[in-house]
Amino acid sequence: MTARLELILGAVFAAVLIAIGLSLGDKAVIDVLMRLSIFSLLALSLNILVGYTGLVSFGHAMFFGFGAYVFGLLMQTNAISIPAAAAVTLLATCVWGAVSGALCIRLTEIYFSFLTLAFQMLLYSVIAGWVSLTGGDQGLMGGIPRPPFLGIDLAQPRQLFVLTVIVSVLSALAIRQIVQSPFGYALRMIRDNAERARFLGVPVQRYKLQAFVLSGIFGSLAGILMSLYVSGAYPNFAFWTLSGDAIIMIVLGGITVFLGPVLGAVLFQFLNDYINRITEHHGMVMGVVLLVIVLGLRKGVLDVLDEWRQSRKPRPEAAP
């Protein structure tokens, strides 16, 4: 699929989502679509590490929380516009990702995973403990101002919804271009056999660090969108349970298919909302449902469908 066709399909998809939300005019529908857009972006950003680089991060929510808090604190100064605050936040995310990633990528497998978790809990402790700056357990006090810019007023729910969908779809297209580039295929080589990749001249450590930072940038962008959506930032944005949710989304939808994390985010949010409505024992029921799905399929939904599609292709006949 060419980049032009992907851009056209992305524009069509964004237009359909926006049309559904605006035509129904139901605030609940708009809220659901916004949350799905944000969490789909979070899952896609994590899959740069998990699905394409083979690095399972237990602390990806640190970027989500980092983006939400840095953006919120910048906006509370009332001295900077929303686009400028977002740009500064993403630049700060690059620095945070480079520093933490430089240490994390020195380790592999479970040690990498737990070191990312350690960095996340460090950030969470700072957020929860620095009450004078972050508001502690209560979150940022006073909310986040949303002044108009370029004729866009994000204080209007419909305009915020449209912007969230557009940014999420454009980010997904950018991630698609990254993973389909030579850099993306080098990440796959590292995932499959890092020693062979190193032997072939691939700078493994540098590429891992770049993947870590890129993953963090898109995760931080999801945090910025969430802070605008709730007009605030809260410690649970950087808690380990959100990282676990993102991993579950990827596992549910599929790791090897690009849109797998998006489907996983949809399934996870649907199950989460539905189970919350029918029972008080949310955690137990959700755990059982996820176990049945994961153990029954053994792979993500789109991974299974892709394997079935590949098996249906006619095999070339052997030459006589």
Average pLDDT over residues 187-211: 94
pLDDT tens-digit series, residues 220-251 = 999 999 999 999 999 999 999 999 999 999 98
User: Average model confidence (pLDDT) for the chain?
Assistant: 88
Q: How confident is the model at residue 283 (pLDDT cuts 50, 70, 90)?
A: confident
Residue 108 or 190, more confident: 190
Give the whole-angstrom CA distance, residue 214 versus residue 4. Answer: 23
pLDDT tens-digit series, residues 87-98 = 999 999 999 999
- Which among 199, 242, 216, 248 is positioned nearest to 46, based on CA atoms? 216
What are the structural domains of the chain? 3-312 (1.10.3470)
Secondary structure element (H or E) that encloses residue 280, with its range: none
Task: Assess contact for 166 and 14: CB atoms under 8 A.
Answer: yes
pLDDT at residue 2 in the model: 59
Q: How confident is the model at residue 99 (pLDDT cuts 50, 70, 90)?
A: very high
pLDDT tens-digit series, residues 165-186 = 999 999 999 999 999 999 999 9
**pLDDT surpassing 70 at residue 319:** no
Give the whole-angstrom CA distance, residue 176 versus residue 66. Answer: 24
